[in-house]
A = this chain, B = another copy of it.
Amino acid sequence: MKIVAAKSILKFNDQLAAENRARFNALGLYVVNLVGSPGCGKTTLLEGLFEQLGSRIAPAVIEGDIAGQVDADRLKQRGIPVVQINTEGMCHLDANMIGVATSDEDYSHINLLVIENVGNLVCTSGYDLGEHLRIVVLSVAEGDDKLVKYPNIFQRSDALIITKTDLLSFCRFDVDRVRNDMQRLAPEAEIFEVSATRGDGLAEVADWLAARCTSAAPAASTD
């Protein structure tokens, strides 16, 4: 009897992720895996960040959704190149999906590829997609106890962006508690506070991302 352990499936995913990463490096493409709950504001954050980045960075997006293409349509309207992955019920993206989705795309003029993962604070945490940076988004409306309740995904992220800070007066959300919990779980992680609808904090994230993008991405293909 052949026994397929979850561990070996994840190991296979890690191999594919490493292949993706090598290909992204060869292309000079900096890749971000953006994770968070449904409705935490990932797409609105991207809209704001791309506007802030202006001509400094040429972005492209992969949208991961159970069904539909609501977010892809929003970004396409802004002229952002988007590939839509419909998982048809699957709760997270994996490295194989990203490999297939990117294989035919022309990223020669793109610096930054953002993968907007399925809205899920649990299942997305275990799958390396080949990204250079994992950013977790937490909205003020979700409450300040989420790091204690869903520690894995925060522990495995390089940055936390607290969104919807315009709702701080209307929600029970202690920013200091969240900052402390994040420092405990991921001491190296950057922490930002943003209201994408108001524009607060976007410039800071955009500058940080642009710096990461240009310094970390190796020289583009020499052909």
Taken residue by residue from 151 to 174, chain A's Cβ proximity to chain B (1 for < 8 Å, 0 otherwise) reads as: 110000000000010110011000
A contact residues, range: 35 or more
Q: Which of A25-33, A66-74, A206-214 is near enough to bind chain B?
A: A66-74
Whether the pair B141, A167 counts as a contact (CB closer than 8 A) is yes
CB closest residue in chain B, given A173 = B39
Q: How far is it, in angstroms, between the C-alpha of A166 and the C-alpha of B148 when the chains are bound?
A: 26
Residues of chain B with a CB closer than 8 A to A139's CB:
39, 141
Main secondary structure of the interface of A (DSSP, over half): loop
Any chain B CB within 8 A of the CB of A146?
A: yes
Q: How far is it, in angstroms, between the C-alpha of A139 and the C-alpha of B65 when the chains are bound?
A: 19
Residues of chain B with a CB closer than 8 A to A51's CB:
none
Any chain B CB within 8 A of the CB of A38?
A: yes
CB closest residue in chain B, given A91 = B122
Any chain B CB within 8 A of the CB of A49?
A: no
Given contacts A67-B148, A141-B39, A145-B70, contact A122 B123 (CB under 8 A): yes
Any chain B CB within 8 A of the CB of A1?
A: yes
With both chains docked as a complex, state the minimum distance between the C-beta of A60 and any C-beta of chain B, in angstroms.
21
Residues of chain B with a CB closer than 8 A to A68's CB:
148-149
Whether the pair B89, A149 counts as a contact (CB closer than 8 A) is no
Q: How far is it, in angstroms, between the C-alpha of A66 and the C-alpha of B68 when the chains are bound?
A: 28
Q: How far is it, in angstroms, between the C-alpha of A163 and the C-alpha of B143 when the chains are bound?
A: 14
12 CB contacts below 8 A, A to B, read A37-B119, A38-B121, A38-B150, A39-B142, A39-B143, A70-B148, A70-B149, A119-B122, A119-B149, A120-B121, A120-B123, A123-B123
